[in-house]
Amino acid sequence: MAINWFKYSAPSTFYGLAGKLIPFFVWPAVVLFGIGFYIGFFVAPTDAVQSEAYRIIFIHVPASILSMFIYLIMAGYAALGLIFKTRLSAMMASALAPTGALFAFISLWTGALWGKPMWGAWWVWDARLTSELILLFLYLGFIALQASIEDPRRADRASALLAIVGSVNVPIIYYSVQWWNTLHQGSTIKFSGTSMHIAMQQSMFIMLVACWLYAIAIALSRVRSIILERESNTQWVRELVELKGERV
């Protein structure tokens, strides 16, 4: 059976598809979060050096990985939207931004909570911490620009350009910060895990997959809201079954 992929690049058709897809991401995410937390808290052994506090890694590492990946995916959608003028891509980009910012924030927050017992400081100017902070700034800039432009078409295209410029800058910023850090002080903090216990690996991997599924599910449901908001004066939205009887 040939599938016409372009069919789902229209917001009106994608709205229904996204609605059908969301449960396939939400429920596995819930189950995997459960399994991941169980292994992380009860199965994984206590770390020899860091005792119980290391368990924050199971949320910290997936959050950091996702915050970086989501920025790239967001910039990818933004580029698609700018090049092919597809409205849905721009909507996806703006649907992903808050999730990315949230993961960047969680990563910094859990990092601070982890840093206090381990390094004795809530914050150190480590290269990775600093670049994560700058990444959060980039997300906030994207969201702020989008929020301050009223015309949605201009908002989409302007923030898309910003995301692309940002993604070109991300590696430059990352290496600058790393170099700056080595100039100022030797890298004193390294996670010296010679080899991780298998249960730790399992838990972290499961949590990573769960976070991915969560991010996809939340982005899809957010994009549904954005579609409804943008298309609220079209015929197909008025005819939607689930909105019958409500004023749109």
Partner 1 sequence: MNRLSLIDLLWLVIRRDMLLAMRRRADVLTTLIFFVMVASLFPLGVGPEADMLRKMAGGVLWVAALLASMLSLPRMFSADHVDGTLEQIMLAPQSLTVMVLGKIVAHWMLSGLPLVLIAPVLGLQFDMSAAAIWTLMLALLLGTPVLSMIGAVGAALTLGLRGGGVLVSLLVLPLTIPVLIFGTGAVEAVNSGLDAVSNLALLGAFLLFALVFSPFVAAQALRISME
Q: Summarize as ranges the residues that interact with partner 1 (CB under 8 A).
A: 134, 137-138, 140-141, 144-145, 148-149, 154, 157-158, 161-162, 165-166, 168-169, 172-173, 176-177, 179-180, 183
The three-class DSSP label of residue 36 is helix
d(CA 132, CA 138): 10
Compare residues 162 and 220 and give the one whose CB is closer to partner 1: 162
In the complex, what is the shortest distance from the CB of residue 106 to partner 1, in angstroms, rounded to a whole number?
Answer: 19
3-state DSSP: the chain helix, strand, coil percent, rounded to 5? 80, 0, 20
SS3 of 20, please? helix
In the bound state with partner 1, the residue whose beta carbon lies nearer, of 72 and 165, is 165
Q: At its nearest, how many Å lie between partner 1 and the CB of residue 71?
A: 12
Closest separation between CB of residue 148 and partner 1, Å? 5
Measured from the CB atom, is 177 or 200 closer to partner 1?
177
Output b/e per residue, 59-77; b: 16+ Cβ within 10 A: bbbbbbbbbbebbebbbbb
Closest CA to 130 of 77, 199, 182: 182
Task: Compare residues 145 and 199 and give the one whose CB is closer to partner 1.
Answer: 145
Rounded Cα–Cα distance for residues 66 and 75 (Å):
14
Q: How far is the CB of 97 from partner 1 (least distance, A)?
A: 14
Minimum CB separation from partner 1 for residue 182, in Å? 11
Cβ proximity to partner 1: between 169 and 201 the closer is 169
